[in-house]
Structure 1
């Protein structure tokens, strides 16, 4: 094969990869098929954010860098998201450039991958996508995994200052509860919402009050996904939330227990449906422990310290 032809083939290959990355930017989700075809795409950076320890080490999608949600994406001292400097350094270590397409995925239906997407959005990172179905679907389809940690050439991404418009504080939630300025979506289970239980069994983070934010509607996060973990279609999501009075006509605040499940619903409402949404990451462990805030406890459960 002549040098001219080799150069042409190489150029076509680069164009094809770049086009593949461009396709990913057309929407907030990528399929397992697309990702498998783009594992070697230099424009793509793949990051796993799982909740269960050791999952990444036992086998991950080839080329993925591991972010540990409770040390990498949060402040280690204050209850807060990672600082701009902390996150920027982390992303650069993962090889992320300003022009990269970042694909996030994880276990438990992408709860913490969605949390990662929300944190990156707060700092203005563009072209951030979720792998639809997460690692559960990837494994169910028998796609390749690796046990070799990924090392990347350092990236050059520069983060913006945190955007407060994407984050609800407790004062925002109290105000919305009182005046209806924003719709509030509690995405926890029906038993958590009613106050029958304060937290799912086995979870340590809890509150001393049961129930939900007064005037919040309950749409459990699980109603937004199909059996295989992929999001429902935009049409189905619109119908689901409209039935609860969430139609995008006014701003929305999502919350759960510690902010990760609500990130999943934030992603559905904000990125898939295009609504104006803030995630309340303080969620019930802050709100249910706060003094003097309006709480509705339908079940009447009283915290006993047990």
Structure 2
């Protein structure tokens, strides 16, 4: 049997099935709560997406305080030694956001259940409504590594440089400034719009598309660039961050302030 430490980033449903009872696996569900209460993978602990965000306007998607992260991880029995397997019910946005959070605290042992709950159910694998026992709270102290985080000053400093790409995961209407969800609409100058759901295979249980690398390359999003991905609140860009990681992109960061910050500042450059 494959040891948890040897698991790939993208874990297929049939690969995860024999590992469900492995004590070295911490299974985390980021589905909507009503879905989790109806059906989830056996043994999965639930996290609400709001627990991954600061919730503070105007940029509620920013990384929460260190103490909030520690409390969250303690509540699911995280020790720092487990291999975390994460999934959601939407194709990877919130799961990717949690993986980004693990990167921020320097925890590198994780996998994404490719396609999440959709793929698990699509393969006819078992689910339950039974809530697992509340784990014994753990004493967790994390260190924040800012390497995976991009902020306004970082992005401004790299604009118009040839090896820098902003990957905008929002809808074309948001990107073009037609749909405005902040004081100002539009996009970061030079940003490439590749809307997040385009990376999901709608015919294969929302798994990451097999041809995703070519689709991105055709847009100019390639492994040799420094890439910052964002959306409105770093939810949709959780998935695009995950995709970049799955392709082995080394220089990938997420802008957790996202458009809710950039579009509400008076001095940030904007294109339409």
TM-score after normalising by structure 1:
0.80
Q: Pairwise mapping of residues 178-193 of structure 1 onto structure 2 (< 5 A)? A: 178-180=160-162, 182-193=164-175
1:128 alignment counterpart: 110
User: Mean alpha-carbon deviation: is it higher for 40-49 or for 217-226?
Assistant: 217-226
How far did residue 257 of structure 1 move?
1.1
1:75 alignment counterpart: 54
1:264 alignment counterpart: 239
Question: Residues 125 and 152 of structure 1: is their aligned pair in 2 closer, same or farther, counting only changes over 3 Å?
Answer: farther
8 Å CA contact 2:29–2:88 kept in 1: the answer is yes
How far did residue 89 of structure 1 move?
3.3
Q: Pairwise mapping of residues 119-268 of structure 1 onto structure 2 (< 5 A)? A: 119-154=101-136, 158-180=140-162, 182-198=164-180, 206-227=181-202, 228-233=205-210, 236-268=211-243
Distance 2:90 2:40 in 1: 14
Report the number of matched residues: 267
Question: Residues 67 and 168 of structure 1: is their aligned pair in 2 closer, same or farther, counting only changes over 3 Å?
Answer: same
8 Å CA contact 1:207–1:288 kept in 2: the answer is yes
Distance 2:247 2:141 in 1: 23
Distance 2:227 2:55 in 1: 29
How far did residue 151 of structure 1 move?
2.1
Which of 21, 40, 59 is 1:60 aligned to? 40
8 Å CA contact 1:94–1:151 kept in 2: the answer is no
Question: Residues 275 and 240 of structure 1: is their aligned pair in 2 closer, same or farther, counting only changes over 3 Å?
Answer: farther
Distance 1:274 1:102 in 2: 21
Question: Residues 42 and 217 of structure 1: is their aligned pair in 2 closer, same or farther, counting only changes over 3 Å?
Answer: same
8 Å CA contact 1:176–1:184 kept in 2: the answer is no
How far did residue 285 of structure 1 move?
1.2
Equivalent position SS for 2:111:
strand
Larger radius of gyration: 1
8 Å CA contact 2:30–2:46 kept in 1: the answer is yes
Equivalent position SS for 2:207:
coil
Distance 2:56 2:220 in 1: 38
2:258 alignment counterpart: 283
Equivalent position SS for 1:296:
coil
CA deviations on 1:215-250 (whole Å, 9 max, x unpaired) are 1111122222212211123xx232222212222223
How far did residue 186 of structure 1 move?
0.8
4+ aligned runs moved over 6 Å, structure 1: none
Distance 2:201 2:102 in 1: 25
Distance 2:158 2:237 in 1: 17
How far did residue 209 of structure 1 move?
1.6
Q: Pairwise mapping of residues 74-93 of structure 1 onto structure 2 (< 5 A)? A: 74-75=53-54, 79=60, 80-93=62-75
How far did residue 84 of structure 1 move?
2.9
Equivalent position SS for 2:154:
helix
How far did residue 152 of structure 1 move?
4.9
TM-score after normalising by structure 2:
0.90
Distance 1:23 1:248 in 2: 23
